[in-house]
Structure 1
Amino acid sequence: MSMFKWDVVDPEPGVAVAPNQRLAWGKTIGLGAQHVVAMFGATFVFPLVMGLDANLAIMFSGICTILFLLICANKVPSYLGTSASFVASVAAIRAQGGDSADVTGAIMVAGIVLLLIGVLIHFAGSGLIHRILPPAVTGAVVMLIGFNLAPVVAGIYWPQDQWIALLTAAFMVLAAVTFPGFWSRIAVFLALIFGYLISLFADILFGPITSVLGGATEATSHDRVSWAGVEAADWIGLPSGKLADGVSVVHAPSLSLTFILLVLPGVIALIAENTGHVKAVAEMTGDNLDPYMGRAIGADGLATAFASAFGGSPTTTYAENIGVMGATRVYSTAAYYVAAIVAILLGLCPKFGAIVNATPGGVLGGITVVLYGMIGLVGAKIWVENRVDFGDPVNMVGLAGGLIAGIGGVTLTIGDDFELGGIALGTIMVIVFFHMVNFRKSSDSGKVTRAL
């Protein structure tokens, strides 16, 4: 049977639609559009904060979603949006003088590594990766990735317009927690719209603001929202132009070992995200998707490497779209193909991308102050869900040093011109220290506990 042949069904309310089934095309197109809205906010926010092009990101999100579905033989319904796992590493690369080509080059290598891990898992089974990266280690790495981003918010986005940032953050928290059903799942998108609107009203009521724009060194007077780029942009065309650092929007990646080491910890986060996604979909559909675990991880790695090779953003499976499936009980992969096509079409509208790129810094400050904290707390969620015992000194002491090194920006100088620091050093310390003491017997652990 062809992968592109779905059984057409018209179920009673509450009856699930399987991945190999679809509703009538009219309803399927509506569901596909709903998936686009669900992934929309985060898929655009993360390229903006990484200094990459939002239009190119959404276009590749569509292309990479189709690639993922094909590799997984339409068995794992998923949308590949922009990954947040590399945001902290990208900030570190730029802080060390790297440009967008260095960023995409490092992420491309990380994607290839993830692809190879996916192939290994496909043939060796998922047990291998769980032994190397147990929940205690994975949670710690995800946590230090998120919390390492705090200085980015404090130093770049928040100061551009602190009151808009505060209002946007407050709205996003309320939307995510108190809005009903689907609306709470698109809180990032709604916060973007809210922040945009209050910035426009602030320009009308209070006039220009004086602040330091991202990348600048001195404060200037400027409107919060400037649509000069929107007016100049075409309605239809391929992503083009220059990024803020002068690198072309579509560009070839540049490779640097130092920068590659900075982004490799993000691979661990992507393994955790993809594993969690496959397990969540399996639980919802009732299918055994373990045989597709390696395919899903490898597909995400290939998609990330492919997008980065052209200057695009890294990808990952999106929890927002899992939420849509949970609410609708429609798991049809046909809806994801529709979503992917819509995203590609949006990516081919430069004017649309210019509107997104004009998002005020204060709005990004409000959104990222919540998002970055949520990324960090996902690490704690991994610990809680897997009942990681911090009464055991293997977990408490084994992870402590790496967390502080990663979050605090501790550095290790090797030779005259090579330095490990931040997330890279923290991840290495977490993995090495944990496995260094994980063999200890419980009796020895009790002695360490008393000593502490």
Structure 2
Amino acid sequence: MAIWKLHGNGRTVEPGAVVAPGERLSWPATIAIGVQHVIAMFGATFLVPVLTGFPVSTTLLFSGIGTLLFLVITKNRLPSYLGSSFAFIAPVTAATASAGMGSALAGIVAVGILLALVGVVVQLAGLGWIDKLMPPVVSGAIVALIGFNLAPAAWSNFKVQPVVASITLVAIVLFSVLFRGFLGRISIFLGVVVGYIAAAIGGVLDFSAVGDAAWIGLPEFRVADFTTPGTWAAIAMFLPVVLVLVAENVGHVRGVATMTDRSVNRSTGRALIADGVSTTLAGVFGGSGTTTYGENIGVMAATRVYSTAAYWVAGVTAILLALSPKVGAVFNSIPAGVLGGATTALYGLIGIIGIKIWVEGRVDFSRPVNQYTAAVSLVIAIAQFTMAWGDFQLGAIVLGAAAALVIYHLGNLIARARGTGADDGGPLPVIGPLGGDPE
């Protein structure tokens, strides 16, 4: 515990100052801030396993373990919480339906391994090649298509209990508009709480499993399966997720570096490796893939405390919560209408993050190559195109991501050959899993 230097008097942060990653406040203050980070990540992290059918407690456990691994691998220099990534929802849902949960976990493992390898390359060669491969017009299209591809899933839950779903959706919108700062960032969580209460009042809430669940116990572990027929076709659907995770991690590092110390950017490769290792471990044992969280950047910006000590507290707290089956049972009892209202907002927000990337990257949509990069990939995702060769099938996400990459790079190659110039796309923009600004 002596690795953190006490900041000032340990109780307050001086005007204009920040608590650096290698510093900490007093332990009571640090513990309080760590718990606040858990609350910030909770609303988003529990939704992913609830929507995909994964055990909530297991996902929460590996979220906490992943956070601790992240701190170790980045040498305790990069503050971050690793929560469930929304980018996995669409491929997990599709893979589970077509080949089973074991195959979906295999896809998560494959993403984790590939992300870690990308991290090794970045550590050795830098970030320039990523900026060239995935400029804003491409990265924005891939993020947007993942969100919009999920629209039918939101409607399938919404129509089951439309009144409860509408109450949940309205509550989320109102919380996000009425509140600023921390409360605004957890608007989805607050909306789900309102929807849950509405479902209880309306008599559509089944709370029986909560009463039967033990207070203390191990989470349910499931194993990735690479042998089931159709698994390798399912894995292909997960590959575009790697591009999203790269963008999220790079954005997180850049955001923290902007607010603390530019030298933090040197940890980018380690951050990618750490998230890859965390995602791999989660996939092997039945948890959801992880990513750095914009919500927690918001908490750091609001408190001006970037101490990694707070994240050690957050990781340990998440692990302790995961060891209570009753906590998992509460989240598993969320009715379809609440999920329908929440996901109508959530999936739309994922799509809007992609559009936000275009705006921040100043994408020139007067250029035909940019127009078609976005247009074709989005229609493929929204219409849920598929292509099959025997038992091997490619879904809309991989087809849309491939279309974005091919159209952009082939179009620019032709433009160079004709001497009409090409768009370098600019640097990879700063994004978070819910699109929260790092400032």
How does the TM-score come out when normalised to structure 2?
A: 0.91
Counterpart for residue 152 of structure 2: 151
Structure 1 residues 45-444: aligned runs within 5 Å: 45-96=47-98, 98-155=99-156, 157-203=157-203, 224-240=204-220, 250-255=221-226, 256-414=231-389, 416-441=390-415
How far apart are the structure 1 equivalents of 2:52 and 2:183? 26
Change (3 A) 1:444 1:165: farther
The structural deviation recorded for 1:94 is: 3.0
The structural deviation recorded for 1:393 is: 1.3
What CA deviation, in whole Å up to 9, does each residue of 1:250-291 have, x standing for no partner? 121012210000111111111111111111111111332221
Counterpart for residue 434 of structure 2: none
Where 2:262 maps in the other structure, the secondary structure is coil
Change (3 A) 1:434 1:58: same
How far apart are the structure 1 equivalents of 2:381 and 2:137? 16
The structural deviation recorded for 1:442 is: 7.8
The answer (yes or no) to whether the contact 2:253–2:268 under 8 Å persists in 1 is: yes
Counterpart for residue 211 of structure 1: none
- Given residue 7 of structure 1, which amino acid in structure 2 is its aligned partner? K
- Given residue 51 of structure 1, which amino acid in structure 2 is its aligned partner? G
The answer (yes or no) to whether the contact 1:393–1:445 under 8 Å persists in 2 is: no
Change (3 A) 1:200 1:445: farther
How far apart are the structure 1 equivalents of 2:385 and 2:16? 52
Gaps of 5+ in 1: 204-223, 241-249, 448-452
Change (3 A) 1:445 1:232: farther
Where 1:388 maps in the other structure, the secondary structure is coil
CA RMSD after TM alignment: 1.8
Counterpart for residue 433 of structure 2: none
How far apart are the structure 1 equivalents of 2:141 and 2:180? 32
What CA deviation, in whole Å up to 9, does each residue of 1:350-386 have, x standing for no partner? 1111111111111111111101000011111111111
Where 1:398 maps in the other structure, the secondary structure is helix
How does the TM-score come out when normalised to structure 1?
A: 0.88
What CA deviation, in whole Å up to 9, does each residue of 1:320-375 have, x standing for no partner? 00000010000000000001111000000111111111111111111111010000
How far apart are the structure 1 equivalents of 2:416 and 2:366? 11
Change (3 A) 1:445 1:168: farther
Length, aligned pairs only = 414
The answer (yes or no) to whether the contact 1:44–1:82 under 8 Å persists in 2 is: yes
Moved more, 385-394 or 404-413: 404-413
What CA deviation, in whole Å up to 9, does each residue of 1:80-122 have, x standing for no partner? 00110011112222332x2211111111111111110111111
How far apart are the structure 2 equivalents of 1:373 and 1:309? 30
The structural deviation recorded for 1:400 is: 2.5
How far apart are the structure 2 equivalents of 1:283 and 1:324? 15
The structural deviation recorded for 1:199 is: 1.0
Moved more, 334-343 or 131-140: 131-140
The structural deviation recorded for 1:134 is: 1.3
Moved more, 366-375 or 171-180: 171-180
The answer (yes or no) to whether the contact 2:138–2:373 under 8 Å persists in 1 is: no
Percent pairwise identity: 46
The answer (yes or no) to whether the contact 1:91–1:152 under 8 Å persists in 2 is: no
The answer (yes or no) to whether the contact 2:137–2:373 under 8 Å persists in 1 is: no
The answer (yes or no) to whether the contact 1:192–1:363 under 8 Å persists in 2 is: yes
